[in-house]
């Protein structure tokens, strides 16, 4: 009887997993990979001996409570001789004629030579949580003057 289940025995095996902690200790970040064969796992172990989280590899690019805004500015777009088979009038920002990220796409050919793209990432923190008293009751309207209860 034919079945729609085309899963073979290989698919039923559990993947081989590997976790590496960030090389900067005692950082708690870790990376997790899964491999479908021992060969893939062994190749990965040979290639990747150490791993660092982005906070330690590129701290200047990580948003944090101390760094709420980061800007990145592209190179000016210009024709490139890097790709001889592409018409010389095609524009590139560095080695690409197309930039994209969350919320935008940009084709270099849509802009004049020399155009740059500035990407800004900014953290918008939530409004402060309502203040509560030490017994968990909402603080009266007008807020806390900073004086602990019972000392007014
Ligand atoms: Zn780290």
The band of 137, judged by pLDDT with boundaries at 50, 70 and 90, is low
**pLDDT tens-place string over residues 103-122:** 999 999 999 999 999 999 99
**pLDDT tens-place string over residues 8-40:** 555 557 889 999 999 999 999 999 999 999 999
45 C-alpha to ligand 1 centroid (Å): 19
31 C-alpha to ligand 1 centroid (Å): 10
- DSSP at 62: -
More confident residue, 144 or 128: 128
The band of 143, judged by pLDDT with boundaries at 50, 70 and 90, is very low
85 C-alpha to ligand 1 centroid (Å): 42
Question: Taking CA 133 as the corner, what is the angle to CA 128 and CA 135, rounded to the nearest 5 degrees?
Answer: 135
Tell me how crowded residue 46 is: count the other CB atoms within 10 A of its CB: 8
Asked if 123 contacts 68 with a C-beta cutoff of 8 angstroms, the reply is yes
Per-residue confidence (pLDDT) for residue 127, from 0 to 100: 92
pLDDT at 142 over 70: no
C-alpha 128: how far from chain center: 26
């Amino acid at each position: 009887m034919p079945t729609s289940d085309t899963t073979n025995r290989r698919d039923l095996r559990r993947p081989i997993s590997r976790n590496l902690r960030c090389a900067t200790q005692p950082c708690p970040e870790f990376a997790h990979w899964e491999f479908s064969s021992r060969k893939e796992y062994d190749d990965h172990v040979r290639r990747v001996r150490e791993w660092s989280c982005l906070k330690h590899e590129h701290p200047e690019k990580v948003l944090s409570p101390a760094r709420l805004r980061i800007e990145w500015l592209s190179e000016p777009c210009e024709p490139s001789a890097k790709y001889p088979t592409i018409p010389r009038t095609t524009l590139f920002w560095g080695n690409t004629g197309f930039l994209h990220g969350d919320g935008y796409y940009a084709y270099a050919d849509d802009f004049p030579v020399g155009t740059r793209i500035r990407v800004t990432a900014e953290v918008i923190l939530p409004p402060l949580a309502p203040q509560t008293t030490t017994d968990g009751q909402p603080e009266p309207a007008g807020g806390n003057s900073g004086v602990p209860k019972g000392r007014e």
